[in-house]
Structure 1
Amino acid sequence: MPESAHSAQPLTTLDARPPCLATIEAVVAGGRAVVTCRGEFDVGAQELQADLYAVLDRSATGVDLDLEEVRFCDCAGLNVLLSLRREALDQGKTVTIRACSPTVARLLDLTGARELFVTEDFGNPAASKPPAVEPIPVVEELPEPVDVDRELRLEVDQLRRAMRTRPAIDVARGIVMASFGLSAEDAWTVLVTASQNTNTKLHHLAEDLMGAVHGTPVPEQQRQQIAAAVAKVREAGPISRPPSSPAA
């Protein structure tokens, strides 16, 4: 019997790569590049990696990221930023985050990655104020060298912690999606909201939800906050917004 056209279709014609729903806009001035990112930084954002590296190459001292218009970011999107930072360290440069949306701020705080994108002078208004007395002319100083070993050790520690907690959090998000019929983004919002309102670390909340699958009851306060968060995202409709502050 001849094989059907559908079954004979070569798998190589299928493109399973997720679409890139993010964009970047770069301006290089004063030795640094300011990169404004917009959209959704998920696994599809890996397509922007080469463009980010090219911007880094054009800068003298590094890249400042403006993530204020990034409306969604998960661990895959964070990996794109961490990869850019590692490349910058190899070149003796730095990558900072000058502004970010609540979504990105929450992810940075939950993974402990925020400090990886901060320099000593970043965010210090006093550093840009002129002195009270007339300054003495000095020769322009070169940027201080980056302590690559220290930065890499810090990054490894943070990534190890994220890798230990990520599987449980991903499973818990799947449980919420299946239990309440929510999208991945809304399920994430439910978990983070319940984590904030119960003052519970996100990975601890995830472990409690996984235990419920095996018959261990979820603590009453957590159960109530999860139910309230589900009701809130359903009331918000398909385009729900995440909470404005990160979990404690």
Structure 2
Amino acid sequence: MPDPAHSVTAIPPCMATMDVMPDGDRMTVTVWGELDLGSRRLLPDLHDILTLSGSGIDLRLDAVGFCDCSGLNVLLDLRLRALDEDKTVTVRSSGRAVERLLDLTGTRELFAAPGQHQDGAHPATGGQPGQEAADDQETRADDRELRAEVTQLRRAMQTRPTIDLARGILMASFGLSPERAWSVLVRTSQNTNTKLHHLARDLVGTVHGGTLPEPVQQQLAAAVAGTAPRSGAAEDGTGVL
């Protein structure tokens, strides 16, 4: 297993810079550049800035030209740290890249300024005793679910090109439509208890001389035979591997 030091050094360089400006009991942080996996290197400084603030951090992300799921996870990590300190993190302004990701993942509300939530209420404006604690627990549960969704989205973005290549191989080898090729991949994945992106990776590897295990070859051939029209020699499931 890699040691923690190796894991840290494995993070790519940070392609973002930031400027900090005190604003009353809050800190305004302006970020330039790209928020990707390397932006995790900003977290120690952001945590220090959060600690120094009275009530939290306001982010200005207008100059961020690229933001992916890793960058969003940095913002979510900072928000969770703020919750632990009874503070908030807001996105005061952002460019197109950040706007698109916030909309795509449904996370915009998590970084809204107090009083701007969809329910129109601020937790401190009233409610029954204990309601604020219940709301905080619900928020943390929502955060955990959201982080899982973001992780899944990132994995999907990383594995999609390989899956598309594998589908293209099946289309070219057996004369399948895109829909039928997708069905063959899914059926073979299910019948062999193999993750779809692992099956796709191994299938792409056959182009460079690799081979699939015999049971996988059999299930793939059966899936092709059961999915493709019965009108060609290439559809008997024996010609690709």
TM tier, shorter chain?
A: 0.5 to 0.7
Q: Contact 2:59 / 2:90 at 8 angstroms: preserved in 1?
A: yes
Which residue in 2 is equivalent to 1:93? 87
CA distance in 2, matches of 1:21, 1:113: 23
CA distance in 1, matches of 2:110, 2:166: 31
- Residue 18 of structure 1 aligns with an amino acid whose one-letter code is P
CA separation of 1:165/1:23 partners in 2, compared to 1, >3 Å: closer, same or farther? closer
Identify which of 125, 144, 148 aligns with 2:136. Answer: 148
Which residue in 2 is equivalent to 1:37? 31
CA separation of 1:209/1:60 partners in 2, compared to 1, >3 Å: closer, same or farther? farther
CA distance in 2, matches of 1:154, 1:34: 26
CA distance in 2, matches of 1:40, 1:212: 32
CA distance in 2, matches of 1:109, 1:217: 32
Which residue in 2 is equivalent to 1:20? 14
Which of 209-218 and 31-40 deviates more? 209-218
CA distance in 1, matches of 2:46, 2:115: 23
Following superposition, the deviation at residue 83 of structure 1 comes to 0.8
Which residue in 2 is equivalent to 1:202? none
User: Given the alignment of the two structures, is residue 46 of structure 1 paired with residue 34 of structure 2, yes or no?
Assistant: no
CA separation of 1:213/1:88 partners in 2, compared to 1, >3 Å: closer, same or farther? farther
Q: Contact 2:92 / 2:113 at 8 angstroms: preserved in 1?
A: no
Could you say which structure has the greater relative contact order, defined with CA pairs below 8 angstroms and 6 or more residues apart?
1
CA separation of 1:94/1:169 partners in 2, compared to 1, >3 Å: closer, same or farther? same
Following superposition, the deviation at residue 86 of structure 1 comes to 0.6
Which residue in 2 is equivalent to 1:170? 158
Residues 191-202 of structure 1 correspond to what in structure 2 (within 5 A)? Answer: none
Identify which of 60, 63, 71 aligns with 1:69. Answer: 63
- Residue 83 of structure 1 aligns with an amino acid whose one-letter code is D
CA separation of 1:120/1:54 partners in 2, compared to 1, >3 Å: closer, same or farther? closer
Query: Relative to total residues, which structure has the larger helix share, 1 or 2?
Result: 2
Q: Contact 2:25 / 2:55 at 8 angstroms: preserved in 1?
A: yes
Q: Contact 1:21 / 1:44 at 8 angstroms: preserved in 2?
A: yes
User: Given the alignment of the two structures, is residue 109 of structure 1 paired with residue 97 of structure 2, yes or no?
Assistant: no
TM-score, normalization: structure 2? Answer: 0.57
TM-score, normalization: structure 1? Answer: 0.55
Which SS does the other structure have where 2:54 is aligned?
A: coil
CA distance in 2, matches of 1:153, 1:214: 41
**Two-structure CA RMSD over aligned residues (Å):** 3.0
CA separation of 1:154/1:79 partners in 2, compared to 1, >3 Å: closer, same or farther? same
Q: Contact 1:21 / 1:45 at 8 angstroms: preserved in 2?
A: yes
Which SS does the other structure have where 1:20 is aligned?
A: coil
The Cα offsets for residues 140-174 of structure 1, whole Å up to 9 and x where unpaired, read as xxx677843122111122222233333222222x4
User: Given the alignment of the two structures, is residue 83 of structure 1 paired with residue 77 of structure 2, yes or no?
Assistant: yes
Flag structure 2 segments of 5+ consecutive residues without an equivalent: 1-5, 119-123, 126-131, 180-241
Q: Sequence identity of aligned pairs in percent?
A: 39
- Residue 39 of structure 2 aligns with an amino acid whose one-letter code is A
CA distance in 1, matches of 2:149, 2:20: 32
Following superposition, the deviation at residue 209 of structure 1 comes to 7.5
CA distance in 2, matches of 1:71, 1:150: 33
CA separation of 1:60/1:159 partners in 2, compared to 1, >3 Å: closer, same or farther? same
CA distance in 1, matches of 2:61, 2:29: 8
- Residue 167 of structure 1 aligns with an amino acid whose one-letter code is R
